[in-house]
Each structure stands twice: as structure tokens, then as C-alpha cells.
Structure 1
Amino acid sequence: MKALHFDDADFARHYVEDGPGRFVPGYAVMQRMAAQLIAERAPEGADILVLGAGGGLETLALAQVQPNWRFHGVDPSAEMLALAKTVCGPVLSRTEWTEGYIQDAPAGPFDGATCLLTLHFVPDDGGKLETLGALRRRLKPGAPLVLVDLCLDKAASNYDDRRDRYARFALNSGADADDVEATRTRLKEVLHTVPPARNEALLAEAGFKGIELFYAGLSWRGWVAYA
């Protein structure tokens, strides 16, 4: 499902300039870990699929530590992809882009894939499972997927407390108060967050093996799993 606020050029630009690092604990370190985990299985000249690539931040981060990798970024937002091409200017020759969803991506097969800060936009009505299944089908056997997702159980009694904790971290990290409040609202009204165990079950149902938690920051979780 497209997150409509990313179609606004000003919002997209602000997100890239001042977004994830203030809302995601250890954002830069998490990206370095993702690159390391993929490199454990991927060849030197790997082809990497990046789902939710709009903005280009993770593609640039991966490309800077792996100078021979090539990337195919997929995102439904034209505004975010336009920014990604600007952000990835230093490595643009190693990138290709698809405006759309995972079903629109090339068949590959790829040597690795990422789905960072993205799956929580997809409803858990079969959409999450189809997304993960489509990722697996585009990977070579044994290739790694790195998934990082915001894991909040909307049915839990402490849901509002966890949402407040998320907001406090962003405020303490220097995020604008209005941005934080708007994001806190989107958590409830736009995002389709699920608890960590649900993501692990979906990965297994989609056919991934060796599912391993490698990152936890407040309500964010990250796994590596293998096709």
C-alpha cells in the first residue's frame, strides 16, 4: 500500500534530510550491520534488490561500504525515487530504479535484498505475506534478506505507551515536535504494524530459512533470513 504522504515533494525532501536517524535508534549502525550480513553470503559483484528504496539513503549506505555491488531500487513514490537518484549521485552508475511495488521488480535472481522501514506500510491481509514471498522468489537459493520493521502490536494493552516511547525518542533526538506528533498519528492511522513474532511467522511462511534477529531498538526489530 502506498503511503500517500510520501507523494508530497516537501514531505519527501524533509524525510530524506532529517528523518530516519531521529526516529530509528542506531539507524546508521543498523545499515552497516545489514551490509555486513548480506556480504557474508553475497559475491563481490553482487546484485542487490532494495525494496522501499525511495530517498536512496540505504542504497547509498550499502554502496559506500561495498564498491562493487549493483543495486535495483523499488518504490511506489515518484517523488521519493527522484530524491533517491539525487542522493545516490556518487554511485548512480551502479543503480537502477523501478517505480512500483515488489511485483513490478525484475525477476532477478538477486544475490541479496533489503526491506528496511517498509513492511509496516503493507496491510497484514495477505499483503505482507505476498510481499515477502515475492522477495524470496527474486533471490538466488541461500541469498540473504535483511528485514527491519517497526513492530507495534495494535491490540496490546501497552500500545499507546509504546507509541509514546517512540515519540519521546524522536523528540530527544532533535526531531521537530510537529513532525513527531504527525508521525505518532500515522502510526495508528496509516501504518500496519504487527508484533515481532508475526513477522517471524510471515518470513517462515514465505519460505525463508535461518531467520535470525540481529537488531532491536525500542520497538524496531531487524532480521536476516535466507531464501
Structure 2
Amino acid sequence: MTSSADKFDAGRAGEYAVQSRIALAGYEACHELAACLLSASLGHGGSARVLVVGAGGTAQEVLAAGRLEPGWRFTAVDPSAPMLASARAAVEAAGLSARTSWQLGGVETLGEERSFDAATLIGVLHHVPGRAAKLALLQEVAARLKPGAPFILAGNRGAYADRPLFLSAWATRWRMAGTAEEEVQAKIGKILQGADPPADDGDIAGLLAGAGFTAPDMFFSSLFWGGWIARRIG
């Protein structure tokens, strides 16, 4: 996760809030559903400690869940200083700073106690190169969760080039947002070369099983993007 942070410099952090909502149709809905699922899993109105991995940029995980559950506290982790600063500003503007702590770095920089009641990993895994590194990240998350804790995983999956219709629709969505054709083509090249998503839904299930999670249930899908909920075993 730390090595993948290099791409999220100050320039990208500044544009992330806008561009992430174009790249992912249903951005808010995915985060809202994630918060609702965690609330349903843990019980509405209680207290919980939630680990938010890759919170940089919009901190939408904290914003959605924090507004829904006033008794929850959040630990937000991100290896990119500019992305973490952007997220912190969003949380401060929403009045949720008192319930949020910040950690610059990867999950491995946190203590090893299994003290979190839930965790999220949204929009991160496809930026982690290689299956071994993806599995290691999921294992780091699992190691800090209480037994039975719910875990939200969301991100891109499958080879983009293998689904040309979806890729074309994704490019057209950028055009709908007023993006110039030259920039659209550059974005296509970037997504084909710069990301390493899990191979398919089966690969995601295998990664989660290898990290100590139950079989995942999908709750969200949008072109290349998927969202799942699983639980920490034992």
C-alpha cells in the first residue's frame, strides 16, 4: 500500500474529490450503503471503533458513517500525506474531527491489538500491485479486527481490456462530464496501464479467504467496480 502512494501527489489529491465521482458512477451510494451495512451489522445507535484504510482524498467513509452513527469513532489511515490532508480538511468541515484520529502510513504502522469493531477498504486494492501484496494488506487489516467484525471491501475488479463495452462506456462518462477527447484517451491509457485490479470476483473471494474472512456478499456494482461485505473469522 505504501509503495502505491507515490501516484497520489498533491496534484492528484486536489482533483480526487471531483474525478472519483466521475470515474465511479454511484460514488455516494456505494459509501452510503457501506455505512448502512456496517450499522446493520453492529447495531444502530451503539459505539464502535472503525478502521478506515485508504481514507485519503474525500474521507467519504468517515463522513457517511459518522453522520449515521454519532457513537462511532474512526481511525483513518493513508500513506499519502497530500491525500490524508485533503481527507482531514473534509472531516473538519463536517464537524467530525473529535471522533477521528489520523495515521500517515500503512496499516502495519498501527498497533497489533485486535481492537477494531469494523473496517473499510474502499478504492484501494486495485492500486496495490501484485496478488501477494494485496493479500498481505488484507491480512494486516484482518489482524486488527475483532472476531466476527464486518469488513467492507470495494474497488475495481477484472481486466479492463477484457470488457471493451464497459471501457467504452466508462470513457463516455468522462465525455458527459465535459472532459476533452485528448484527456479521455489519456485516462483510458492510464487505467489500462496504471492499475492492477483483482482478476475477478472469484479472485476477490480467494483473497478474502486467504486473509481470514468469510465468503463475501456483493452489495454494489457499477461497471468495473464492486462492493462486498465479509466478516473476520475467529
Q: Which moved more, 1:20-29 or 1:138-147?
A: 20-29
Task: Please give the root-mean-square deviation of Cα atoms over the aligned residues, in Å.
Answer: 1.9
Deviation, structure 1 residue 105: 2.7
Structure 2 residue 117 is matched with structure 1 residue 116: no
Q: What secondary structure is seen at the aligned counterpart in 1 of 2:74?
A: strand
The answer to whether the aligner puts 1:76 opposite 2:79 as a matched pair is yes
* C-alpha deviation, 1:160, in angstroms: 4.4
Q: Which one-letter code corresponds to 1:69 in the other structure?
A: W
1:45 maps to what in 2?
47
Paired residue secondary structure (1:185): helix
* 210 and 199 in structure 1: CA distance in 2 versus 1, 3 angstrom threshold: closer
CA displacement 1:84-138 (0-9 Å, x = unmatched): 1111011111111111112123334201000001100112241011111111111
CA positional deviation for 1:139: 0.7
Aligned counterparts, 1:119-134, within 5 A = 119-134=125-140
The reply to whether residue 57 of structure 1 matches residue 63 of structure 2 is: no
Task: Check if 1:96 corresponds to 2:98.
Answer: no
1:1-227, aligned counterparts within 5 Å?
1-7=3-9, 9-16=10-17, 18-42=18-42, 44-55=46-57, 56-89=59-92, 90-107=95-112, 108-153=114-159, 158-172=162-176, 174=177, 176-177=179-180, 180-194=184-198, 195-227=200-232
- Which letter maps to 1:112? A
Q: Amino acid of the residue matched to residue 191 of structure 2?
A: L
With normalisation by structure 2, the TM-score equals 0.87
Distance 1:102 1:160, change over 3 A: farther
Q: Hey, what's the Cα distance between the residues in 2 that align with 1:126 and 1:223?
A: 20
Distance 2:183 2:124 in 1: 19
**Cα distance change, pair 179–204 in 1 and its aligned pair in 2 (3 A):** farther
Q: Provide TM-score, normalisation by structure 1.
A: 0.90
Post-superposition offset of 1:188: 2.0
- C-alpha displacement of 1:29: 1.1
Instruction: Report SS of the residue matched to 1:88.
Output: helix
Report % sequence identity: 33
- State whether residues 31 and 60 of structure 2, in contact with CA within 8 Å, keep that contact through their aligned partners in structure 1: no
